[in-house]
Amino acid sequence: MKNVQFVGKLEAHHVKDRIVNKMFRKHLADFSIIILIFLIDRVSKIFIIGSPEVYDQYGISITSFLNFNLIWNEGIAFGLFSFDKKLYYNLLTIFIILITIIIIWLMLKSKGFERFSFIMIIGGSLGNIFDRIFYSAVPDFVDVHINNFHWFIFNVADIFITLGIIFLIGIEIFNDKKVKNENY
């Protein structure tokens, strides 16, 4: 009788392994893209942090409207919610991690271009979370400007996050119009 129970547990373990392997294979491409986005962001930041020219007043001039100028962002997007107190910074970081976990869940439940949009957001978010934990700030360096008007300085991860959000908004607008047209 004891052996039968053991065999039953062993079989349940194999079923669980097969389910996990199937899920892993199903989402391998998704997580590969997330890792690729993360790595693109990391390489860009490592390059900028290691470049002594970015520490000049205007950094590295790329074109007449683009500079690479390193700043350390302790807040969230565009420097919002920058705090002097470590407690607030840590709470904000935990909040960002929780939001990213929710977005991962949304990605797993979505399909098609919506899933790709979530993948872009997750890849960028993980890049910035890594920086928040490793550096206690996020290195931003892309400085877009027209003459003396400078936009907020951002990084490659922010580009992916922003594009993912824009795509999700576009999907919602397109689906809303589609639903309205079907009702008429």
Name the residue among 26, 38, 25 with its Cα closest to residue 122: 38
Are the C-beta atoms of residues 115 and 107 closer than 8 Å to each other? yes
Q: Which of the following is catalytic: 41, 131, 140, 143?
A: 140
Q: Which of 112, 111, 142 is nearest to 124 (CA)?
A: 142
Q: Is 140 a catalytic residue?
A: yes
131 is catalytic: no
CB 123 within 8 A of CB 41: yes
Tokens representing 42? 């990391």
Contacts of 68 (CB under 8 A, 6+ apart): 48, 51, 53, 54, 59, 60, 62, 141, 142, 143
Which residues are marked as active site? 140, 158
